[in-house]
Amino acid sequence: MIKLNALITNTSYYCGISYLFRKIFSSKGKFVIMFHGVSKKKNPNLPMDIQPHLDINQFNFILNWIKNSFQILDPDTFMTSQQNGVLLTFDDGFLNNFSNVLPVLETYDAPALFFITTENIEFPEKWLHFITDKLKNYGINKSDLSRDTRKDLFDGISKRNLIKMSSNPLVTIGSHSKTHPLLSQCSNEDLNVEIIRSKKYLESLIKRPVRFFAYPSGDYNQLVLDKVSNSGYEAAFGIDKIENLGRTKFEIPRIGIYSSKKPYLAAKFSGLYQSPIKYLK
């Protein structure tokens, strides 16, 4: 995996390097793409780094770009077949995944895997700790924000909306823990809560097996991996950088997408930033 900057991405794109490498390498494997929240539009009154990286227009552009370049795979096809393509994933369980993302997925008939932090379902207006920390750093109080802003940017999905969302044939629900902690720093008792109880809680709501897990912040070690693999999950996903502990089905890397610019997308999917996934065991 290489780091990207504007000079590299623009040079690679306009010189045709990204396209060439995508044709050579990206057509011979699979990618997993990681998104988080998607807002209706950017809020000019709030710092950009506390808002979702993407708005609906940007997300629509990205999905159209991916659809024109790759086959979009559902989780089962990704896990069990040799078909090349892209798996879409979304982390944390924001309300905007239901209100903003799902309609775009339906437009493109694009399946996706949603990793839900269950605290975001149980207490959708409480907000996850990393959001409240960022707001606190900027001196922003929740009461300073309009109800529409809170719902669009930060609220979690309600139980009712998660159940409705899970019934959509394009949607697969996975677990992203209960509270979004650093799992490598958790006690065994806390791991049981974060990994096992989150799974059971989601299953009790959606009435179907929860088969996939995503490590919060990509943080895990051998103990965490073993706990996940022994808890009934079929696979687990990291972020761009993984630990390479030898269990590829439980260390599936993902490419985070935070921009809709063509040079950026071309570089991320070139096979240079991250090699395509070929084998899972």
Whether residue 202 is predicted with pLDDT greater than 60 in this model: the reply is yes
Domain borders along the chain are 6-268
For residue 281, the model assigns a pLDDT of: 73
Report the CATH fold assignment for 6-268.
Answer: TIM Barrel (3.20.20)
Mean pLDDT of 93-121: 98
Helix 198-206 to helix 159-166 angle (10° resolution) is: 70
With pLDDT > 90 as the criterion, what percentage of the chain qualifies? 85
Instruction: With CA atoms as reference, report the closest residue to 247 among 227, 230, 225.
Output: 225
For residue 14, the model assigns a pLDDT of: 47
Listed in sequence order, the residues at least 6 apart from 218 whose beta carbon sits closer than 8 Å to its beta carbon are 238, 239, 240, 241, 242
Q: How many residues does the chain have?
A: 281
Instruction: With CA atoms as reference, report the closest residue to 114 among 195, 33, 205, 59.
Output: 33
- For residue range 15-66, list pLDDT tens digits in order: 555 555 555 555 668 999 999 999 999 999 999 999 999 999 999 999 999 9
Average pLDDT, the chain: 92
